[in-house]
Chains A and B, each alone.
Chain A
Amino acid sequence: MIMDYDVIVIGAGLSGLIAAARASAGGRSVLVLARGQGVLALTTGCIDILGCLPGSEGRCLTDVAGGLQRLAAIDPDHPYAKIGLDLVQESIEFWQQVMPAVGYPYCGSGAVNYLLPTALGTVRPTALAPATMAGGDIRNEAGTLVVGWLNLLDWHPKLIADGINDLRNRRGLGGAWSSVMLDALPGAAPELTPVMMARFLENAQHLELLIAGLRKSLTPGTGRLGLPAVLGIDEGAALFRQVETRLGCPVFEIPAGQPTVTGLRLAQLLIKFLKQYGVGFRFNVSVLSAERRNGAWQVMLDLPGRAAVVTGGALVLATGGLIGRGLEADRTQIRECVAGLPVAGRDLPGQAREASGWGRDPFAMAGVVVDGRMRPVATDGDPEQYRRLFVAGSTLAGYDPAVGKDGLGVALATGYVAGNAAATEG
């Protein structure tokens, strides 16, 4: 392993991957160090830019561009407000360019939201959806059949169809969704998670069986088919296209279970693409610490049986938040684990709280405070100690994706800015 890179990225979640892509595009040698694959595989795989404004009590935002303007005005601590909306827009354009090259195109301009169905029969606003999902917008008038199989876990087609009809009715659209439950696919295990089913369907014969079964359930009124996201992992949207062409009927996926197929697919395809592009990856390593010494970043790794050091000219910290383990809380305080950066909301664990779980959560909002270039704002000590260190993604303070529906959007935009900065700032 080479021990000296222009840019070291810690973390292989979406923010780390995007930062690595940008630094690499800027002509730098890049190494990504990561303990695991990050939260991406648990998500819908849709890039939420902004789905819900603070204080709007769960109302779905459809006008993303207008929403961003409003957000920047009322919430100056939000990462989008820090980097500025032009750069948010640039990062979206970057996504739209890079995904066709990855071979897994996304739909959406970024300016408006889709309203996509969830596995719980609710609706979710999102700006950028994989082609396999984008056809599911609930405002579409087509008669929609949601299909399930008895042996598939975490999938309840009737709940989805009835739930969406209920929402459509409230909007005066009329119910157009129905559901059907098919017998277990022959040859498959008696209980399958969506990921297991996706692996099963990567076999061509199994996919044939699936298509045959689906064909039988089509009726003249079926305008499109809603399937659980199970149409393969490694081959991107290829199985999806095959099913759609063979059936002659539009199809869309709805993510289900944990991890989700759409999340896992995106994570794996992006990593594969970046590897081909020359980005170095090292998984299953924990970074113990990072320190700036003699004009470079020294990153200490916890390798089995020994410790090792890699050095980099610039460092991108994309280690995630409390879920991704970039931040850790003990009974009295929250700390940032790698560089010991100051954390806003540090004292939360020791404080008395009244957090219901439903609104913006103080723990989710906690994190590292940065300036518009993703540089930590030093509260004490020597400003030099954070030179050429850039922070991206959910390590940052100031947003709660569970409420704002802006998680992967912030990861994209801040990863983009951090990666650019790491590649250029001398």
Chain B
Amino acid sequence: MEKTDVLVIGGGATGTGVLRDLALRGVDAILAEQQDLAYGTSSRFHGLLHSGARYAVNDPESARECRQENAILKRIARCCVDDTGGLFVLLPGDDPGYADDWFAACLRAGIAVQEIPAAEALSLEPNLNPALKRVFRVPDASIDGFALVWANVGSAAGHGARAYTYTRVDRIIVRDGTVSGALVTDLRTGEQRQIECRFIVNAAGAWAGQVARLAGCELKILASKGSLLVFNHRVTNRVVNRLRRPGDGDIIVPQDTVAILGTTSVPVDGPEHLGSSRAEVDQLLLLGRDLVPGLDERRVLRSFAGVRPLYQENGGEGQRPQDGRAVARQFALVDHERQGVRGLITVVGGKLTTFRLMAEQATNLVCVLLEHDAPCRTAVEVLLPEATAAQVRQLQRYFSPPVSQKMAERLGRADLDQLLGILSRNGWKRQFVCECEQVCLAELEWRATGSSWLRLGDLRCRTRLGMGTCQGTICAARAIGQLYQDGMLDLGRARRLLGEFLDERWKGNQEVLWGDQLRERLYARNVYLNLHNFQKEADDYGL
């Protein structure tokens, strides 16, 4: 039976952050994630590395935490952060008095806020509403949740930690009031096995209530869904926030080649099977066009939704929050000993921006309980060692200087070594499998061999393949073809993966079918169903 000191449940930002922290402190740990890493809210979010400004008025404590973590992540996680900077924009009709309160609150929270002339803002961001009244610069940035979670696990693995994906925790074993292990199921094989451990950290996000219940503990988590829209280009080059009391549809975050508008806030029953409704899409577009006139005419690639877990300290008698935003966004650290289970702690809530701090505090608690004395190093140790100048030069043998630069920033030193190794053996693997996001065959090969994956979507998350404008129309077939050619798939799996991938894409754009995106969907359907006569179900073609 496999043994470890600490089992971490949940492969989002929080769980992977805890795994890394434990590993850096020399504690033996295993992480179990039921699906792929970042399956939960850590990929279904807005991508904003908060400066804290959004919370300055309502939640100064959160604002200060964000400010500190924002600075730390910009230092240690350059591979996942695009330091775009952010703007807060006061629009006509919004309360001018709020702007003054907000400005003062930002200063109190220590956030580097600076007012700039409206004309300057419009020259920086020409798409903004020209009627804007006031504009402030803040240190907001854009952060890639997939890359962050993978970097956390990569770093942890470098220090001996293990992470299992598609491994669901089904039962927490408690003996004499103390956690002694967990029963997990490998979703790929259906096999159950036991992992023995002394402590469990429940970092299951919106599922945290369910996980606590596996040990017989009560944990009140309310779920609030937020929907987001992905535009096919960087509508703005900086994060843009509407300067008013936080509400729906008031933030645009550029992410690599696209931009994301969000969010809504709708109470829901649980974390699974969520999409965004047409009403939410309409509402977001209506609000978004206040910030960027004509935004509702621009091309939306897809919509998606994530779930905020809202921890209810005092039970709340199952009542639903009227507005998820009214419930504090700070995180909670719960030691279940007071419910009679020693060795189980839950860390839940907060924001992706504060994941490291949450992990630090959770790990502190674990270390106290383990009587293990080691300081936290996650704030100082770089997450992913950066590419060297020599590596960038080597890349330039295969790619243009700007492409090489971008790849080097995205991949980091260790992955680049692998990539360059593949390229030196097979120079032709410089070919791009995804032209929108500049993912080459060598990167696909490395991700497909160097990590365990189940779906084509998993490789998409590791590489960004298919995330750009064409949304996989060209590159899905290329990726499947190459993986097959390389002997990594059998025929049945190749067909299944492609079918699943298309299903997922078509579900994602179901509510945004107009204009160019409708055209793209009909085109993609014809490429797969017509040109290739690809059939998901009847794969014998009635022959």
Residues of B within 8 A of A170 (CB): 540, 543
Would you call A426 an interface residue if the criterion is a C-beta within 8 Å of the partner chain's C-beta atoms?
A: no
Would you call B98 an interface residue if the criterion is a C-beta within 8 Å of the partner chain's C-beta atoms?
A: no
Q: Which residue of the partner chain, among A57, A159, A357, contacts B502 with CB atoms under 8 Å?
A: A357
Q: In the complex, A89 Cα to B204 Cα: how many Å?
A: 64
Q: In the complex, A229 Cα to B482 Cα: how many Å?
A: 19
Q: In the complex, A330 Cα to B515 Cα: how many Å?
A: 5
CB-based contact A407/B530 at 8 Å = yes
Name the interface residues of A114-128: CB closer than 8 Å to any CB of B: 115, 118-125
Q: How far is the CB of A324 from chain B (nearest CB, A)?
A: 9
Name the interface residues of A320-337: CB closer than 8 Å to any CB of B: 321-323, 325, 328-331
Q: Could you say which of B20-28, B247-255, B345-353, B426-434 contacts chain A?
A: B426-434
| Most chain B beta-carbon contacts within 10 A, residue among A356, A358, A403 | A358
Q: Which residue of the partner chain, among B282, B481, B529, B531, contacts A403 with CB atoms under 8 Å?
A: B529
CB-based contact A154/B477 at 8 Å = yes
Residues of B within 8 A of A352 (CB): 278
Name the interface residues of A47-76: CB closer than 8 Å to any CB of B: 51, 56-60
Residues of A within 8 A of B527 (CB): 42, 258
Q: In the complex, A407 Cα to B506 Cα: how many Å?
A: 22
Given contacts A163-B491, A352-B278, contact A357 B525 (CB under 8 A): yes
Given contacts A60-B543, A190-B430, A401-B530, contact A358 B536 (CB under 8 A): yes
Q: Which residue of A lies closest to B430 (CB)?
A: A190
Q: Which residue of B lies closest to A157 (CB)?
A: B485
Q: How far is the CB of A5 from chain B (nearest CB, A)?
A: 30
Residues of A within 8 A of B523 (CB): 42, 323
| Most chain B beta-carbon contacts within 10 A, residue among A121, A155, A170, A403 | A121
Name the interface residues of A192-227: CB closer than 8 Å to any CB of B: none
Q: Assign chain A's interface to a size class.
A: 35 or more
CB-based contact A322/B525 at 8 Å = no
CB-based contact B532/A122 at 8 Å = yes
CB-based contact A402/B530 at 8 Å = yes
Q: In the complex, A405 Cα to B529 Cα: how many Å?
A: 9
Q: In the complex, A358 Cα to B530 Cα: how many Å?
A: 11
CB-based contact B526/A122 at 8 Å = no
Q: Assign chain B's interface to a size class.
A: 35 or more
Would you call A171 an interface residue if the criterion is a C-beta within 8 Å of the partner chain's C-beta atoms?
A: yes
Name the interface residues of A244-276: CB closer than 8 Å to any CB of B: 255, 258, 260
CB-based contact B278/A120 at 8 Å = no
Q: Which residue of B lies closest to A403 (CB)?
A: B529
Q: In the complex, A159 Cα to B482 Cα: how many Å?
A: 9
CB-based contact B533/A167 at 8 Å = no
Would you call A141 an interface residue if the criterion is a C-beta within 8 Å of the partner chain's C-beta atoms?
A: no
CB-based contact B481/A56 at 8 Å = no
Would you call B519 an interface residue if the criterion is a C-beta within 8 Å of the partner chain's C-beta atoms?
A: yes
Q: Which residue of the partner chain, among A120, A121, A156, A191, contacts B482 with CB atoms under 8 Å?
A: A156
Residues of B within 8 A of A329 (CB): 513-515, 518
CB-based contact A122/B502 at 8 Å = no
Q: In the complex, A74 Cα to B134 Cα: how many Å?
A: 64
Q: How far is the CB of A273 from chain B (nearest CB, A)?
A: 25
Q: Which residue of B lies closest to A356 (CB)?
A: B506
CB-based contact A363/B542 at 8 Å = no
Name the interface residues of B227-246: CB closer than 8 Å to any CB of A: none
Q: Which residue of the partner chain, among B428, B474, B539, B540, contacts A190 with CB atoms under 8 Å?
A: B428
Q: Which residue of B lies closest to A124 (CB)?
A: B533
Given contacts A159-B494, A349-B514, A402-B526, contact A118 B533 (CB under 8 A): yes
What's the dominant secondary structure at chain B's contact region? helix
Q: Which residue of A lies closest to B525 (CB)?
A: A402
CB-based contact A58/B485 at 8 Å = no
CB-based contact A118/B541 at 8 Å = no
CB-based contact B485/A158 at 8 Å = yes
Residues of A within 8 A of B278 (CB): 352
CB-based contact A60/B542 at 8 Å = yes
Given contacts A58-B538, A323-B519, A361-B522, contact A349 B513 (CB under 8 A): yes
CB-based contact A122/B428 at 8 Å = no
Q: How far is the CB of B191 from chain A (nearest CB, A)?
A: 29
Q: In the complex, A302 Cα to B481 Cα: how many Å?
A: 43
Contact with A along B478-502 (1 / 0, CB 8 A): 1011101100000100100000001
CB-based contact A405/B533 at 8 Å = yes
Given contacts A122-B534, A329-B515, A356-B503, contact A156 B481 (CB under 8 A): yes
Q: Which residue of the partner chain, among B503, B515, B521, B543, contacts A167 with CB atoms under 8 Å?
A: B543
What's the dominant secondary structure at chain A's contact region? loop
Given contacts A42-B531, A402-B525, contact A191 B431 (CB under 8 A): yes
Q: Which residue of A lies closest to B523 (CB)?
A: A323
CB-based contact A184/B428 at 8 Å = yes
Q: Which residue of A lies closest to B531 (CB)?
A: A44
CB-based contact B534/A120 at 8 Å = yes
Q: In the complex, A331 Cα to B286 Cα: how many Å?
A: 12
Q: In the complex, A181 Cα to B486 Cα: how many Å?
A: 12
Residues of B within 8 A of A166 (CB): 491
Q: Which residue of the partner chain, among A328, A330, A357, A401, contacts B521 with CB atoms under 8 Å?
A: A357
Q: In the complex, A258 Cα to B515 Cα: how many Å?
A: 21
CB-based contact B506/A363 at 8 Å = no
Would you call B396 an interface residue if the criterion is a C-beta within 8 Å of the partner chain's C-beta atoms?
A: no
Would you call B537 an interface residue if the criterion is a C-beta within 8 Å of the partner chain's C-beta atoms?
A: yes
Q: Which residue of B lies closest to A324 (CB)?
A: B519
Residues of B within 8 A of A407 (CB): 530
Given contacts A122-B534, A191-B431, A191-B432, contact A358 B514 (CB under 8 A): no
Q: How far is the CB of B385 from chain A (nearest CB, A)?
A: 30
CB-based contact B521/A118 at 8 Å = no
Given contacts A163-B491, A170-B540, contact A331 B514 (CB under 8 A): yes
Q: Which residue of the partner chain, among B285, B477, B484, B542, contacts A59 with CB atoms under 8 Å?
A: B542
Name the interface residues of A282-338: CB closer than 8 Å to any CB of B: 321-323, 325, 328-331
Q: Which residue of the partner chain, among A184, A353, A405, contacts B510 with CB atoms under 8 Å?
A: A353
Would you call A355 an interface residue if the criterion is a C-beta within 8 Å of the partner chain's C-beta atoms?
A: yes
Name the interface residues of A349-401: CB closer than 8 Å to any CB of B: 349, 352-353, 355-358, 361, 363-364, 401
Given contacts A123-B543, A329-B515, A357-B503, contact A323 B532 (CB under 8 A): no
Would you call A142 an interface residue if the criterion is a C-beta within 8 Å of the partner chain's C-beta atoms?
A: no
Q: In the complex, A156 Cα to B479 Cα: how many Å?
A: 10
Q: Which residue of A lies closest to B490 (CB)?
A: A162
Would you call A96 an interface residue if the criterion is a C-beta within 8 Å of the partner chain's C-beta atoms?
A: no
Q: In the complex, A150 Cα to B441 Cα: how many Å?
A: 12
Would you call A151 an interface residue if the criterion is a C-beta within 8 Å of the partner chain's C-beta atoms?
A: yes
Q: In the complex, A257 Cα to B279 Cα: how many Å?
A: 38
Residues of B within 8 A of A328 (CB): 515
CB-based contact A330/B525 at 8 Å = no
Would you call A153 an interface residue if the criterion is a C-beta within 8 Å of the partner chain's C-beta atoms?
A: yes
Q: In the complex, A158 Cα to B487 Cα: how many Å?
A: 9
Would you call A132 an interface residue if the criterion is a C-beta within 8 Å of the partner chain's C-beta atoms?
A: no
Residues of B within 8 A of A357 (CB): 502-503, 506, 521, 525
Residues of B within 8 A of A91 (CB): none
Q: In the complex, A157 Cα to B481 Cα: how many Å?
A: 9
Residues of A within 8 A of B532 (CB): 118-120, 122, 124
Would you call B192 an interface residue if the criterion is a C-beta within 8 Å of the partner chain's C-beta atoms?
A: no
Given contacts A119-B532, A361-B525, contact A60 B491 (CB under 8 A): no
| Most chain A beta-carbon contacts within 10 A, residue among B282, B427, B541 | B541
12 further contact pairs, Cβ within 8 A, besides A122-B533, A349-B513: A58-B535, A58-B537, A120-B477, A122-B534, A122-B535, A154-B477, A155-B481, A163-B491, A166-B491, A255-B531, A331-B296, A403-B529
Lowest 4 A-B CB distances belong to which pairs? Answer: A59-B542, A156-B481, A58-B538, A357-B506
20 A-B residue contacts at CB 8 Å?
Answer: A42-B526, A44-B531, A59-B541, A60-B542, A120-B532, A122-B533, A153-B478, A156-B485, A158-B484, A162-B491, A163-B491, A167-B540, A184-B428, A191-B430, A258-B474, A322-B519, A331-B296, A331-B515, A353-B513, A361-B525
Q: State the A residues within 8 Å of B (CB).
A: 42-44, 51, 56-60, 115, 118-125, 150-151, 153-159, 162-163, 166-167, 170-171, 181, 184, 190-191, 255, 258, 260, 321-323, 325, 328-331, 349, 352-353, 355-358, 361, 363-364, 401-403, 405, 407
